[in-house]
Amino acid sequence: MSPFATLLARDIRLAARSGGSAALALSFFALVATLVPLGVGADLHLLARVAGGILWVAAVLAALLSLDRLFQGDFEDGSLDVIALSPLPLELTALAKIMAHWLSTGLPLTLLSPLLALLFNLPASATLILFVSLLVGTPAVSAVGAIGAALTLSLKRGGLILPLIILPLLAPAVIFGAGAVSLALDQLAPQNALGMLAAFAFAAVLLSPFAAAASVRLNLGG
């Protein structure tokens, strides 16, 4: 197994054994999606109209819950020092961690979304677009989040600052993701919004490992 696959497999294994992060994210996502219809009321038309925005914001916030631990666990227990001296460049280390985070959090959130869309009376066509938009867009959440996680690595309460850093950067994902669902709801073509979302996610996944690695290097200096 290559060093990249080794690190990816370990992080997925850790996420599965810790139990907390993915389950917490899914529970948070489900709770928000359940509470909003209770708060908004039984106006089915209104619920369908706000579904895209609410579910996208809930998915981003849910993914945030585990993002602060992306590098911090390894930093605190000394693993990051040993990983940094391995043949795997820090950029690929960051990419492996982004992938592991998406597979353990973003993907489960995406898979759960059609079920939660039922609570918002979202039509099947719009539910499909919601699913596709989350599938395409949640990697951007993990990727942009990795930059914030690396920047706040040595801060004692970095988890509190992390959302302030990355939420503004994730605005394009929410705008295009929720926008695509709205377009589908109005029976308009969502391809352009999905295309923009895919381009944003692609750029985020491509560039963020470099930014995250640079920040990790700074923090390793102590």
Partner 1 sequence: MISSLTAENLVCVRGEKRVFEGLSFRVTAGQALAVEGANGAGKTSLLRMIAGFLAPAAGRLIVHGAEGESDDAEERGKSIGWLGHQDGLKPQLTVIEQLQFYAHLYGKAADLTLLEQVGLARQSDLPCRYLSAGQRRRLALARLLAGARPLWLLDEPFAALDTAGQALVGQLMARHCGAGGMIVAATHDPLGLANESLKL
Site residues for partner 1, window 193-222 (CB under 8 A)? Answer: 217, 220-222
Q: Could you tell me where the beta strands, DSSP code E, fall in 23-95?
A: none
- Identity of the residue, 153 or 197, whose beta carbon is nearer to partner 1 in the bound complex: 153
Would you give the end-to-end CA distance of the chain in angstroms?
31
- Identity of the residue, 13 or 115, whose beta carbon is nearer to partner 1 in the bound complex: 13
Residue range at the interface with partner 1 (CB under 8 A); choices 53-61, 75-83, 115-123, 164-172? 75-83
Task: Tell me how far, at minimum, the Cβ of 218 lies from partner 1, in Å.
Answer: 10
Q: Write down the residue that tokens 């209104």 correspond to.
A: 46
CA distance 108 to 99: 13
- Identity of the residue, 7 or 116, whose beta carbon is nearer to partner 1 in the bound complex: 7
Residues with Cβ within 8 Å of 212's Cβ and at least 6 positions away in sequence, in order, are 71, 94, 98, 146, 147, 149, 150
Task: Tell me how far, at minimum, the Cβ of 150 lies from partner 1, in Å.
Answer: 15
Task: Tell me how far, at minimum, the Cβ of 8 lies from partner 1, in Å.
Answer: 11
- Kindly state the tokens that stand for 100: 């592991």
Q: Count of alpha carbons within 13 Å of 89, Cβ hemisphere only? A: 8
Binding site for partner 1 (CB under 8 A): 1, 3, 6-7, 10, 13-14, 17-18, 73, 76-79, 81-88, 217, 220-222
